[in-house]
Chains A and B, each alone.
Chain A
Amino acid sequence: MAELSTRHLMGIKQLTKEDIDLIFNTADNFKEVINRPIKKVPSLRDITIANLFFENSTRTKLSFELAEKRLSADVINFSASASSLSKGETLIDTVNNILAMKVDMVVMRHPNPGAPIFLSKHINANIINAGDGAHEHPTQALLDAYSIREKLGQVAGKKVVIVGDILHSRVALSNIFCLQKLGAKVMVCGPPTLIPKYIETLGVEVSYQLDRALEWADIAMMLRIQLERQGKQNEVKYFPSLREYHNLYGLTLERLERLNSKLVVMHPGPINRGVEISSELADSAYSIILNQVENGVAIRMAALYLLASSEKIED
């Protein structure tokens, strides 16, 4: 009891409901810590953490780094663009070189799905997956569910619609696992080209009409249209134009008011204002986007703390 069932955080799929509850309860304490005048605790002072970002990231990297520093860990940062990776070094060689400098934990984002799982079979540090391709992004899903719990009291029984680019989204997959484990109902909504085939086998409902989905839901989780993953000119496009996408699947204040809805609106960021969500809605009282960011630090502190405490110091 009171211990995670795993020594790595690969994905929500590997976590139990008890693990998630433990992370949430621990995050409650860290949320109190980061609102103190002095926001730092010494728990991880003897631990070194490497942040390995083989793919671009701003907020996840900042959030992890802040969480690590608030726990007094030593932090080293690595980003792929400035590394030997471009000189042809393999992932294992890169990571082993970093571990040879006595690093205890690795936080990794990588464009290939399964990269952290592969790594965990070859190295001996705790690994946190900070996003692997279109596979999982567990800390994002945890902070999303935690934000729902904070806003609405509990996650169980709530209805959540995830809107947008489900096909390319690791956030969507992790959220589906996480919300379902906590007893919420999940629907995905978007243009048919951006909804993966057979996604209903995960136990989610599918809708292609945003208004209908919004009427059903308590919470709308808007996803970013991943412009960088859309086809370039002359390649396949998933929808004709951003303007058409916005008209059909963009969430606006006017649309919510027309539906007379009390939805809670979430977004993992970064926002494309005027595409999946209108500017005035993103800044309105419906939105808990900035609460998500604040909770992100607390959740990551909890995950780091619990994983670090799974490693005993031997005499």
Chain B
Amino acid sequence: MNGVYLPPSMNNKRILLDQTHINLTIKRLCFQLIENHNDFSESVLIGLQPRGIYLAERIQAELSRILTDQEIHLGSLDTTFFRDDFRRRDSPLIPNKTKIDFIIEEKKVILIDDVLYTGRTIRSGLDAMLAYGRPQLVELLVLIDRRYSRHLPIEPNYVGETVDSVASERVEAIWQETDGKDQVILKSQENG
């Protein structure tokens, strides 16, 4: 897939994906998941807190809509206590809720997050996940992959959109539940 071309913008905020585009992308990701997993009785979805859970919920809803006869398991995982930047930030890391009502032992786990950037959150997610068992296989699904910005050797298996951006920019997915609409935006840091 080609990266989205980002022309220099006068604004400090640009919409990368709107509602329609996000819906289409989620549908496509779901079909890719079905292609690879087929039967979801041995596969589980785990959304990473705080912002990966909204995408995970949409994926679960869409999968359930397509595969009406299958139950799609979804959990949410908080990675706060496993992060590598504890005591290296200005403010303490505040944890979110972890809710995993199933055992992931020998299951195929699909980790879900909104934006993949340095890969550090995913690294801590992988560690945090191990408290719930030893999965057979772990895959990574992200809505946005910020290419060429990885600090760790982590690559996604399913990508909604690939974005090339510079470090001073920020890619943010906002969701109906927290911000009133689904959108992916690119912010440049220059003036706020």
Q: A42 to B127, alpha carbons, bound, how many Å?
A: 10
A41 within 8 A of B: yes
Contacts A37-B131, A37-B133, A43-B81 known; A3 to B92 CB distance under 8 Å? yes
Name the segment of A200-208, A211-219, A264-272, A302-310 touching the other chain: A302-310
**B window 123-160: CB within 8 A of A:** 127-128, 130-133
Q: Which of B49-104 contact A (CB under 8 A)?
A: 78, 80-82, 86-98
Using an 8 Å CB-CB cutoff, how does the interface string of A32-46 with B read, 1 for contact, 0 for none? 110011101111001
Instruction: Give the contacting residue for B82; candidates A4, A42, A305, A311; CB below 8 A.
Output: A42
* CB–CB B131/A38 < 8 A: yes
Q: Are B80 and A308 in contact (CB under 8 A)?
A: no
Q: Which of A1, A29, A36, A309 contacts B86 (CB 8 A)?
A: A309
Interface of A is mostly: loop
Using A37-B133, A41-B82, A306-B92 as known contacts, say yes or no to A29 and B87 having CB atoms under 8 A apart. no
What secondary structure prevails in chain B residues at the interface with A? loop
Q: How far is the CB of B93 from chain A (nearest CB, A)?
A: 7
A37 to B131, CA, bound (A): 7
| Binary B-proximity of A178-194 (CB < 8 A = 1, otherwise 0) | 00000000000000000
Query: Does A2 interact with chain B (Cβ within 8 Å)?
Result: yes
Asked whether, in the complex, the Cβ of A42 is within 8 Å of the Cβ of B81, the reply is: yes
Which residues of A are found within 8 Å of B86, using beta-carbon distances?
Answer: 43, 308-309
Residue of A nearest to B127 (CB): A42
Do A312 and B88 touch across chains, with their CB atoms under 8 A apart? yes
**A310 to B78 alpha-carbon distance, docked (Å):** 21
Residue among B78, B92, B97 having the largest count of chain A Cβ atoms under 10 Å = B92
Considering the chains assembled together, what is the distance between the CA atoms of A223 and B87 in angstroms?
Answer: 38
Supposing A36-B131, A37-B131, A42-B127 touch, asked if A29 and B88 sit within 8 A by C-beta, the answer is: no
Most chain A CB within a 10 A radius of its CB, from B81, B94, B130, B131: B81
B132 proximity list for chain A (CB < 8 A)? 36-38
| Complex Cα–Cα for A33 and B128 (A) | 10
Residues of B contacting A311 with CB < 8 Å?
87
Number of interface residues of A (CB under 8 A): 27
- Interface residue A236 (Cβ < 8 Å from any Cβ of B): no
Interface centre among B82, B89, B91, B94 (most CB of A within 10 A): B94
Contact B87 A38 (CB under 8 A): no
Residue of B nearest to A40 (CB): B131
Which residues in B have their C-beta under 8 angstroms from that of A71? 81
Does the CB pair A313–B97 fall under 8 Å? no
**What per-residue 1/0 map shows which CB atoms of A286-315 lie under 8 Å from chain B?**
000000000000000000011011111100
- Our pick among B92, B127, B130 for the contact of A2 (Cβ within 8 Å) is B92
Checking B82, B88, B95, B98 against A26 with a beta-carbon cut-off of 8 angstroms, the contacting residue is: B95
Q: Residues of B contacting A3 with CB < 8 Å?
A: 91-92
Q: What's the least CB distance linking A73 to chain B, in Å?
A: 12
Chain A CB within 10 Å, residue with most, of B87, B96, B127: B87
Binary interface profile of A, 1-32, with partner B (CB < 8 Å = 1, else 0)?
Answer: 11110000000000000000000011011001
Q: Is the CB of B131 within 8 A of A309?
A: no
Decide: B92 and A29 in contact? CB cutoff 8 A. no
Closest to B130 in A: A38
Give the chain B neighbours of A313 by CB distance below 8 A: 87-88
Contacts of A29 in B (CB 8 A): 78, 80-81, 95-98
Q: A residues touching B (Cβ–Cβ < 8 Å)?
A: 1-4, 25-26, 28-29, 32-33, 36-38, 40-43, 46, 71, 305-306, 308-313
Known: A36-B132, A42-B127. 16 other contacts (CB 8 A): A2-B91, A2-B92, A25-B94, A28-B97, A29-B96, A36-B131, A37-B131, A38-B130, A38-B131, A42-B81, A43-B81, A43-B82, A46-B87, A71-B81, A309-B87, A312-B87
10 closest residue pairs by CB, A with B: A41-B81, A309-B92, A38-B131, A29-B95, A43-B81, A313-B87, A2-B94, A36-B131, A3-B91, A313-B88
14 inter-chain pairs at a CB distance below 8 angstroms, sorted by A residue, are A1-B91, A2-B91, A2-B94, A4-B92, A29-B98, A36-B132, A37-B132, A40-B131, A41-B81, A43-B80, A309-B87, A309-B93, A312-B88, A313-B87
